[in-house]
Amino acid sequence: MSMAEFYINNNKFPLQQGVIINGCIADNHDKEAFGLIITPRCDIGNGGKVSTIHYLPIVPLEDWLKVNCVMSAVRKFRTQLEKELNKNGVSSSILDYFITQQDIETVFNTVSNKKELIKMYKCYIDTINDNNYSNDYIIKNCKNEFYDLCEGKHNRYYMIKRWDDVKRHCVIILRDVKRISYDIAQKYVGGYLNQNFEEAIYSYNDIFKTNNKTFFKTVAQISSPYIEHIIQSFSHNFCRIGVEEQFEKEEVKSKYEIDKILKK
């Protein structure tokens, strides 16, 4: 797929779904982000039918790796460690407070895989206390997150090529919905200098606040059917229905021996 197919080749972009704007924010990111407008075209085009325009933050892939990917990797690492601790009869509450080396030896004294579990525990504590993300557990989890993103299997994120540099990539954060007022969004079409914003505007609008001069504008537009595919991915995050499991998965797996059934 060429960039010409994914993006509409134009120098000026109207305010509508699929347009990318600058001067945006993303949770846990301290740098300026871009934003993908997701408000339906009919709502925007009908003379300001809505008072608020919504967008999804877009961040550089490198920043996503250092922030969102790492956060997810740490959560998964904790879940993995909690599972191992519980399996060996050790309370996972030890992950929430400091214990001495002597206490560590006492707590893990009766554990069968003591050496490996202590290693995992220390790596986790170093990760939390020192922001050390270089251990094997975090790196492995980060790689899995990244590979899922590349293969389009990650339901929280959507990766795209940059509109101004085909060799670079960005990530759309699908669960971080932001807003700006319709009136402020309209200013992006013709371009607007951020220094003209009054202080009160920042309390309602999710726009990047900086002392530097920034020209807020529309920068690109994603074409059809790609914008619809992104909106579909976005909607999956808010249209899921959770129900109780009807059966124990492990019990069913052990009950039906596939190889024996197929050989009958």
pLDDT digits (tens, 9 = 90+) for 4-34: 689 998 777 888 999 999 999 999 999 999 9
CB atoms < 10 A from the CB of 101, how many? 9
Average pLDDT, stretch 182-207? Answer: 84
pLDDT at 12: 79
> Model's pTM, two decimal places?
0.84
Contact 210, 232 (CB under 8 A): no
* DSSP summary character for residue 9: -
Name the amino acid, one letter, at 106.
T
Can you tell me whether residue 263 is helix, strand or coil?
Answer: helix
Indicate the domain borders of the chain.
7-60+155-236, 66-147
**Taking residues 158-167, what's their average pLDDT?**
91
Structure tokens of 80? 């993995």
